[in-house]
């Protein structure tokens, strides 16, 4: 997810001022004013939004070091940082540490991937020009927590880009300006869907449209329904992972067909149990809509490390739903996010197999060969000018369409396996 310029957590970073714990945070309403937590109170399925303030010696607005001092807050499980202008890049490190609600133990510093517009609706679309969209880091899953501290430190800037400065000892460093309006977003996933009754609604149709009302899972097909289309895998519906449908915009937007699949990692970290995957997805959904200002969850599908597949953006798992996953290449494609961070950790074989099964079916509906190439027209971005026809793998990584490290080196290295396995599922 993060741009190539972002560095690892091991980068030396001057510590923020050591301040004592403050009283419980006053939780501001979210920008969308939906599901915000009242001051000092825990509200399941809510978002706390805390403004960042200057830290260290430079206390002026726009300081190169900003954050939120260590403090008590109502419970949350996912954290991210947003800012006003989505076109403004954050050149710096964003680090957070949290206190586990169950044990009271503080974590070490963890780094958030700076994201920088690589996941977004295409430029010029109604979703990107709504006036609600904000810049954001990738979100990080931290588990149920009730304390937080965050620090943001600007990277050193080349001489031509000098915009702000600070002094450390006798050496003078020039730093990029941090984005304006930075806020810490603390997301609680809320409760999931109630268990499906034993005789509850299920679907055995080809799932060309939305799942029947109340269905928690679309069952797997046992065999291909037509040549070169893999059998549909089991898919947990939005109802199954507990989506609050009141958050998103109601109308779905479609493109002509699905010619390519872009594989991502969610960059939310690997410290989740598979049983927690629905909570992680609910948190990402709330972050995408309430914190980042998108119309719905950005990805079309998500896959957990145990290989379970989840419906993402609403509109029908068998349809060509326009997502917000690969800036410039959302039309005629789909986005699949593997939950976790795979820069240095290998994805599970179950997750890679799930990507293969999903793409064998979904790409097969449009007659696409997972081992083949296709052309997509760029909507604009940092690699290809708007309108350029770009030749891509039918199963591509996010970095093939945008200059980013997503889906992580280790997951990207498994895409060849996913392509060949998907082709076999199609009977090629």
Tens digit of each residue's pLDDT (9 = 90 or more) over 285-339: 999 999 999 999 999 999 999 999 999 999 999 999 999 999 999 999 999 999 9
- Residue with the larger pLDDT of the pair 385 and 361: 361
pLDDT in tens, 344-359: 999 999 999 999 999 9
Q: Where do the structural domains in the chain lie, given as residue ranges?
A: 47-187, 217-425
Q: What is the pLDDT of residue 167?
A: 45
Please tell me which residue, 44 or 200, carries the higher pLDDT value.
44
Q: What are the tokens at 91?
A: 């050149």
pLDDT of residue 26: 40
Q: What is the structure's pLDDT at 17?
A: 31
| Residue in the block written with tokens 């940092």 | 382
Whether the pLDDT of residue 117 is over 80: the answer is: no
**Span 163-180, pLDDT tens digits:** 454 444 444 557 888 999
Q: Are 288 and 298 in contact (CB under 8 A)?
A: yes
Average pLDDT over residues 234-241: 97
Give the pairing type, strands 260-265 and 395-397. Answer: parallel
Q: Residue 64: its pLDDT value, please?
A: 86
Look up tokens 């009754």; give the residue: 197
Residue 203 pLDDT level (bands cut at 50, 70, 90): very low
In this predicted model, what pLDDT tens digit does every residue of 52-103 receive, in sequence order? 999 977 666 667 899 999 999 999 999 999 999 999 999 999 999 999 999 9
Q: Between 408 and 208, whose confidence is greater?
A: 408
DSSP string, 140-203: EEEEEEEEEEEEEEEPB--GGG--EEEEETTEEEEEPPPPTT-EEEEE-----PPPPPTT----
Per-residue DSSP letters for 318-355?
Answer: TS-B--SSSTT--TTEEEEEESS--SSSPPPHHHHHHH
Task: Please name the CATH architecture into which domain 217-425 falls.
Answer: 3-Layer(aba) Sandwich (3.40)
- Of residues 122 and 270, the one with the higher pLDDT is 270
Q: Does residue 334 contact residue 300 with C-beta atoms inside 8 Å?
A: yes
Distances (CA, A) of 372 to 10, 233, 391, 398, 399: 39, 21, 10, 17, 18
Per-residue pLDDT for 9 more than 60? no
Average pLDDT over residues 110-127: 86
Distance, in Å, from the CA atom of 93 to the CA atom of 116, rounded to the nearest integer, reads 12
The secondary structure of 35-102 as a DSSP string is SBPPTT---SS-EEEEE-EE-SS--STT-SEEEEEEEEEEEEEEEEEEES-TTS---EEEEEEEEETT
């Amino acid at each position: 997810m993060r741009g190539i310029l972002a560095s690892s957590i091991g980068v030396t970073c001057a510590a923020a001022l050591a301040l004592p714990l403050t009283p419980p945070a006053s939780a501001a309403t979210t920008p969308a004013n939906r599901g915000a937590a009242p001051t000092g109170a825990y509200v399941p399925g809510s978002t706390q939004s805390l403004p960042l303030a200057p830290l260290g010696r430079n206390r002026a607005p726009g300081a190169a070091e900003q954050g939120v001092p260590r403090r008590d807050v109502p419970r949350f499980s996912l954290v991210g940082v947003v800012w006003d202008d989505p076109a403004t890049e954050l050149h710096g490190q964003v680090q957070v540490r949290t206190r586990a609600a169950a044990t009271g133990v503080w974590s070490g510093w963890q780094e958030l991937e700076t994201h920088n517009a690589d996941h977004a609706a295409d430029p010029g679309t109604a979703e990107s020009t709504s006036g609600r969209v904000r810049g954001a880091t990738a979100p990080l899953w931290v588990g149920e927590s009730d304390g937080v501290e965050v620090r943001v430190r600007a990277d050193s800037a080349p001489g031509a880009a000098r915009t702000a400065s600070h002094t450390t000892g006798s050496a003078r460093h020039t730093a990029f300006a941090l984005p304006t309006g930075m806020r810490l977003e603390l997301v609680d996933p809320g409760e999931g869907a109630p268990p499906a009754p034993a005789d509850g609604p299920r679907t055995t149709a080809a799932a060309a449209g939305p799942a029947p009302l109340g269905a928690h899972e679309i069952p797997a097909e046992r065999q291909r329904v037509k040549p070169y289309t893999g059998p549909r895998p089991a898919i947990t519906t939005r109802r199954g992972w507990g989506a609050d449908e009141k958050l998103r915009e109601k109308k779905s937007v479609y493109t002509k067909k699905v010619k390519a699949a872009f594989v991502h990692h969610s960059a939310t970290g690997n410290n989740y149990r598979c049983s927690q995957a629905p909570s992680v997805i609910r948190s990402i959904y709330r972050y995408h809509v309430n914190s980042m200002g998108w119309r719905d969850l950005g990805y079309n599908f998500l896959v957990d490390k145990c290989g379970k597949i989840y419906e993402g953006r609403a509109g029908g798992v068998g349809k060509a739903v326009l997502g917000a996953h690969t800036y410039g290449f959302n039309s005629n494609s789909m986005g699949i996010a593997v939950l976790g961070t795979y820069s240095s950790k290998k994805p599970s074989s179950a997750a890679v197999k799930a990507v293969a099964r999903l793409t064998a079916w979904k790409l097969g509906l449009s007659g696409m060969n997972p081992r083949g190439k296709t052309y997509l027209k760029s909507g604009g971005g940092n690699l290809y000018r708007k309108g350029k026809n770009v030749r891509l793998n039918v199963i591509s990584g996010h970095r093939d369409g945008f200059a980013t490290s997503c889906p992580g080196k280790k997951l990207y290295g498994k895409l060849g396996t996913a392509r060949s396995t998907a082709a076999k599922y199609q009977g090629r």
